[in-house]
Amino acid sequence: VDDPLPVFKVFPRQQLAFDFVKSCSEDVHVFAEELGDDGKRQYIVSTLDEFWNTYRSIQAEDRHYYEVIEEGAACRLYFDLEFKREFNQDLNGPEMVEIFIEYVCSHLKESFGIDCRRKHILDLDSSTDTKFSRHLIFHMPGAVFKDNVHAGNNLPRSLTSIG
């Protein structure tokens, strides 16, 4: 079996990246890179191996990437949890994350019978000195949602209304 060809291509707009994905025979993903504090992004289409090789060579404080899930695509449950440290000095971010995970896992068990354990959660820390930021991806066996809309609609109101 041939190894997949490396793919790593940068696009200025998300739609161009997804259009390129449709032309690829390799298993590729779209990632967004935040270019500054003004919300500007560029989009990268890459194989996971090629992205990882590039990502790990970047200084930790400069790693501002996330995977973009195409509208209508199946997805795992995921959350971005963040707050500015300056305005929330009394908050214990790591403790809040653990409480949040327990709450979500309890809901998944009660509502869907899904066995959710801490080991099933990919916990990515993008925190800086100014911002607490964690990205949680729930990788429970056999638990994938039809798309982002279904994932959001199947969460309790108390969770989706957290400010």
In whole angstroms, give the CA distance from residue 144 to residue 78: 11
Q: Where are the domains of the chain?
A: 8-67, 77-159
Nearest residue to 46 via CA among 65, 30, 62: 30
Q: Which residues, 6+ apart, have CB-to-CB distance to 59 below 8 Å?
A: none
83-135 pLDDT, tens digit per residue, is: 999 999 999 999 999 999 999 999 889 888 989 999 999 898 888 888 899 98
Identify the band that residue 163 occupies on the pLDDT scale cut at 50, 70 and 90: very low
pTM comes to: 0.72
Q: What is the mean pLDDT of residues 55-69?
A: 84
